[in-house]
Structure 1
Amino acid sequence: MTTPRTHHVGITVSDLESVLLFYRDVLGFDVLDRFAVSGEAFATAVDVPEAAGRFAHLEAGDVRLELVEYAPAGTARSKSELNQSGATHVGFSVADLEAFFESLPAEVETLSEPRTTESGTAILFLRDPEGNLVEVLER
């Protein structure tokens, strides 16, 4: 059996352009690629009739972050909370969490100021423009 290796972490969004600006301009990730996919094979693979997708891949340190906007768009999820079953988030590390926090634009929603947990890790949770949870940590 072939052992899977991480290729990317994906987030489905309703407005690719605004979310892409957040990850590029606020978090500083480089855009690696932009492309569109459609056709019967894609629609069958994602189990969405007549699906098409617009994609952006960003370099996020050791992982590729994939943002995808689907047509037709699905229904919006309710704002997730971390303690809900099925809740998801992406996590990124920084060398100086306080400096990162201070550099955030005022309009970026955070769940709290940076906090240091019992494990000694400093964490900060924020939301992207569509409410997806993003953890930023300093070990």
Structure 2
Amino acid sequence: MTDCSAHHVGITVSDLAESVAFYREVLGLDVSDRFGVDGEAFADAVGVEGASADFVHLEADEIRLELVEYEPEARGSPAAGLNQPGAAHVAFEVDDLDAFYADLPDDVPTIGEPRTTATGTSILFLRDPEGNLVEVLAV
């Protein structure tokens, strides 16, 4: 069997600039790459006729977050709740969750306030501008 190693976590967005700003400004991620892809091979690989896409890679320690905006864009999937099968989220660790929460811009929606679970981990869930779930935690 082939050994695998992690490469990136991808999130499809409808407004790349707004999403990049969120992940840079709210979570402090750094942009490492920007590029576009199109052509028949790409469209075939993603299963979307005539597809093209713009990509931005952001870095957070060992995680590369890939934000991608497709053309044509599909519509219609509501944001999933955490308990919905198939729901996904990306998580980032901070040293002081309470300080992170206090510094959040007022327009960033959260699921609730930071809470410490029975395992001793403090967690906070918020949504990015696209409605994607983001977990911020402190262990």
Mark yes or no: TM-score above 0.5.
Answer: yes
SS in 1 for 2:113: coil
**Aligned counterpart, 1:55:** 55
> For 1:1-139, what aligned pairs fall within 5 Å after superposition?
1-139=1-139
Distance 1:126 1:113 in 2: 9
Q: Which moved more, 1:115-124 or 1:73-82?
A: 73-82
Structure 1 residue 80: Cα displacement: 1.2
Q: Secondary structure at the match of 2:137?
A: strand
**Cα deviations by residue, 1:24-57 (Å, 9 ceiling, x for unpaired):** 1111100001000000110011011110000000
Cα distance in 1 for residues equivalent to 2:80 and 2:107: 19
Aligned-pair CA distance for 1:88: 0.5
Quote the Cα distance in structure 1 between the aligned partners of 2:47 and 2:30.
30
Moved over 2 A (4+): none
Q: State the Cα distance separating 1:99 from its structure 2 match.
A: 0.5
How far, CA to CA, are the matches of 1:130 and 1:111 in structure 2?
15
Q: CA deviation at 1:61?
A: 1.9
Percent of aligned positions that are identical: 61
More moved, 62-71 vs 76-85: 76-85
Question: Which residues of structure 2 form unaligned runs of 5+?
Answer: none
Question: Structure 1: which 5+ residue stretches go unaligned?
Answer: none
Q: CA deviation at 1:96?
A: 0.5
- Over the aligned positions, Cα root-mean-square deviation in angstroms equals 0.7
User: CA offsets, 1:47-87, max 9 Å, x none?
Assistant: 11110000000002211000000000011311210000110
Q: TM-score, with normalisation over the residues of structure 2?
A: 0.98
